[in-house]
Amino acid sequence: MIEKGLHKQQRLARYALRVASAHDCPTCIQPLEQDRRFAAPAWQQWPFNVIHQGFLLQQQWWHNATTGVRGVSRHHENMVTFAGRQWLDMWSPSNFIWTNPEVLDAIRASGGANLWRGAMNFLEDARRLALDDAPAGVEGFEVGKDVAVTPGKVVFRNHLIELIRKRPPTTSSGLIRGLLPSTPLGVNGTWRCRTSVRCGRSGLRRGGPVASRRRGFAARAG
């Protein structure tokens, strides 16, 4: 792995030298097909091209270091790979102002107003959280119209999860039930309305319908 690390450093150094003298220089590593963080043309300009190429090489090295390890089970390998990827993604250059050319372009275009708006949104969210108020934008969604409603009840709750048993409103809506007659459906927390607890406090869950929506329910427009 040390040899691979040194080889990647050499590749990055050669790439940095090439892009310093040529504008149309092929990259030394391509991101994964589903990774769109560096798709904007601004990422191909110096120094952001070198910055994001260095990050991708580092990401590839960690993937190689955590996969194919002798004596490690597939389950534990997947756990380490996943945790390592999450940790690396926190340090992506797209997450920081001074290493993200798209954010810098937005700052120049708005004269810094985007940072001010972001700071005001943060303070507003913090205020609502401190007062146990619903997030901004919730008032724009009407139960039964913009938010799906299914009769049901909470059958189990602990500090980590809340298990809801939902009841189909009609006997004819049995497409999923026909495919999965006796298999429970688990929904990841990121797909649930993050304000579901608040919705419950306002009465949407009490004695009847359970409101839910895909992630983004409480996203502020714009």
Q: Into how many domains does the chain fold? A: 2
Which of 192, 184, 182 minimizes the C-alpha distance to 214? 192
Which of 59, 83, 103 is the endpoint of a domain?
103
Give the helix/strand (H/E) hosting 163: strand 162-166
Residue 101 CB-density burial (10 A; 0-12 exposed, 13-18 middle, 19+ buried): buried
Residues 96 and 156 in one domain: no
Q: Is the same domain home to 9 and 80?
A: yes
What would the DSSP string read from start to end of 136-161? Answer: TTGGG--BTTTBEEEEEEEEEE-SS-
Is 186 domain-assigned?
yes
Highest mean pLDDT of the ranges 18-27, 101-110, 143-152: 101-110
Q: Is 106 exposed, middle or buried (0-12, 13-18, 19+ CB in 10 A)?
A: middle
> Which one of 103, 127, 151 terminates a domain?
103
- The amino acid that residue 20 corresponds to is A
Place of tokens 């359970």: 210
Tokens of 152: 């049901």
Euclidean distance between CA atoms 198 and 205, whole angstroms: 10
| H-helix or E-strand spanning residue 125 | helix 113-130
Q: What crossing angle do the helices spanning 48-66 and 74-90 adopt, rounded to 10°? A: 160
Query: 178-206: per-residue pLDDT in tens?
Result: 444 455 556 555 444 443 333 333 333 33
Share of the chain above pLDDT 70, in %: 75
pLDDT of residue 201: 38
By residue range, what is the domain housing residue 54?
2-103
